A and B are shown apart, each in its own frame.
Chain A
Amino acid sequence: MKCTRCRATAAVALPSHNAGFCPDCFQVFFSRQVQKAIKEKDLFQPEDKILIALSGGKDSLSLARELKLLGYDTAGLYIDLAIPDSSVKAGEHVGRFCRELGINLHVLDLQKEGLPIPEVQKKLRRPVCSVCGQIKRYYFNRFALDNGYSVLATGHNLDDEVARLFSNVMRWDTAYLGDQGPALPAQEGFVRKVKPLYRLSEFETANYSFLAGIDYCYAPCPYSRGASFTFYKSLLDELEHQQPGRKINFYEGFLNRARRAFARQEDLEGLKPEPCPVCGYPTTGEVCGVCRLREIMGAKG
């Protein structure tokens, strides 16, 4: 197979784009997809201060590299979950990566917040991943607002987004359908959230990280029961294999033609968040989930 742009030997075949690319042209392709997402969905402006949620995995590191190369004002936040082995390893990958690229890195230690994930896991009966996800979302948002960032960017890719959309549709979860998308506007207590990789598949990010020489972490978390939405993802992979381009069309079609209807319904019927009486960050309950958890864990301050 030859590169669609320069006729050299292709390194990456992309049936969904009816194209193949050599290493150099693939990186151009990748960068253009990110720029297209930023421009078409108005994700952020050159003057924005962007905080990138870094996990050490290929998606978040690829995102950080690309935004840095595009010249945006970025910094990273790594949340140390205090999970033996995996948190240390992931933290080392993130640290090395940021040093090499000259990206300013912040680290937030959940041990210091009184919420080390292994302790949380022991104390609660709920599946730890849903609590862990809630804690991470809370601190990423809060850190961004407390430190003057105007945008929080995450490494969610097309496969993550399509699997989530598919799962929301299967449950007709109108609240989630109303605000799923690559950009969530800032609201009282919420920083603007964006997903600049939403047009790129996990396969494309994997190729990008390899070609860019990104030394990412794939030490699995001991609590992980495999990737989220594993079953939906394999169904959708099969669909994409039979009908290349399905994933992006399904997702873009939702954004352009369906999302608004769900958002309108949520405006009418949904719960409006109020400031948490303890921390001041928005919640639809009384005291917010993270403050309740800190109380259960006996955390101070």
Chain B
Amino acid sequence: MQILIEPDNKMVHIERSGNVINLLKKLELRPNQAIVIRENELLTPDRMLDEEDKIVVRKIASRG
């Protein structure tokens, strides 16, 4: 699955993540540290993901 990490603008591939919470775990993020977007829709941690999904993970910690 293709994941775009923002604001770094970095592409990563993650295999078989299952649901959002697992995906975040693989990225070493807590659910309150990023928002997860699929086709302009926000996903809660329980939502299942598909191999074909294009996902954006936007980390929220502000800078400066």
Q: Are A11 and B32 in contact (CB under 8 A)?
A: no
Q: Which residue of B lies closest to A241 (CB)?
A: B30
Q: Are B61 and A11 in contact (CB under 8 A)?
A: no
Which of B30, B37, B41, B62 counts the most A-chain CB atoms under 10 A from its CB?
Answer: B62
Q: Are B32 and A12 in contact (CB under 8 A)?
A: no
Q: Are A206 and B44 in contact (CB under 8 A)?
A: no
Q: Are A220 and B60 in contact (CB under 8 A)?
A: no
Q: How far is the CA of A206 from the CA of B56 in the complex (A)?
A: 14
Which of A59, A206, A226, A238 lies in contact with B58, CB distance below 8 A? A206
Q: Are A59 and B32 in contact (CB under 8 A)?
A: no
With A207-B35, A210-B37 as given contacts, are A11 and B62 in contact (CB-CB < 8 Å)?
Answer: no
Interface residues contributed by chain A, number (CB under 8 Å): 32
Interface residue A141 (Cβ < 8 Å from any Cβ of B): no
With A11-B41, A206-B58 as given contacts, are A226 and B32 in contact (CB-CB < 8 Å)?
Answer: no
Within 8 A of B (CB), among A182-230: 201-203, 206-207, 210-211, 218, 220-221, 223-224, 226-228, 230
Q: Are B30 and A237 in contact (CB under 8 A)?
A: yes
Within 8 A of A (CB), among B1-21: 6-7
Q: Which residue of B lies closest to A2 (CB)?
A: B44
Shortest Cβ gap from B38 to chain A (Å): 11
Q: Are B61 and A1 in contact (CB under 8 A)?
A: no
Q: Which residues of A contact B63 (CB under 8 A)?
A: 218, 220-221, 224, 226-227
Q: Are B44 and A10 in contact (CB under 8 A)?
A: yes
Q: Are B61 and A202 in contact (CB under 8 A)?
A: yes
With A59-B62, A220-B64, A221-B64 as given contacts, are A203 and B32 in contact (CB-CB < 8 Å)?
Answer: yes
Query: What 0/1 pattern do residues 23 to 64 of B give for CB contact below 8 A with A?
Result: 000000011110101000111111100000000001011111
Q: How far is the CA of A117 from the CA of B46 in the complex (A)?
A: 45
Shortest Cβ gap from A57 to chain B (Å): 6
Q: How far is the CA of A220 from the CA of B61 in the complex (A)?
A: 11
Which of B32, B35, B37 counts the most A-chain CB atoms under 10 A from its CB?
Answer: B32
Q: Are A224 and B64 in contact (CB under 8 A)?
A: yes
Q: Are A227 and B45 in contact (CB under 8 A)?
A: no
Q: How far is the CA of A12 from the CA of B47 in the complex (A)?
A: 11
Q: Which residues of B contact A230 (CB under 8 A)?
A: 61
Q: Which residues of A contact B43 (CB under 8 A)?
A: 11
Shortest Cβ gap from A152 to chain B (Å): 19
Q: Are A210 and B45 in contact (CB under 8 A)?
A: no
Interface residue A240 (Cβ < 8 Å from any Cβ of B): yes
Shortest Cβ gap from A241 to chain B (Å): 5
With A202-B62, A206-B60 as given contacts, are A237 and B42 in contact (CB-CB < 8 Å)?
Answer: no
Q: How far is the CA of A221 from the CA of B62 in the complex (A)?
A: 11
Q: Are B46 and A1 in contact (CB under 8 A)?
A: yes
Interface residue A181 (Cβ < 8 Å from any Cβ of B): no
Q: How far is the CA of A226 from the CA of B8 in the complex (A)?
A: 13
Which of B7, B31, B44, B45 counts the most A-chain CB atoms under 10 A from its CB?
Answer: B44
Q: Which residues of B contact A263 (CB under 8 A)?
A: none
- A-B residue pairs in contact (CB < 8 Å), sample of 8: A1-B47, A10-B44, A13-B44, A201-B32, A207-B35, A218-B62, A223-B64, A240-B32
Q: Which residues of B contact A (CB under 8 A)?
A: 6-7, 30-33, 35, 37, 41-47, 58, 60-64
The 4 lowest CB-CB distance pairs between A and B, nearest first, are A11-B42, A206-B60, A224-B64, A13-B44
Known: A11-B43, A238-B30, A241-B31. 6 other contacts (CB 8 A): A129-B64, A207-B42, A220-B7, A220-B64, A221-B64, A233-B61
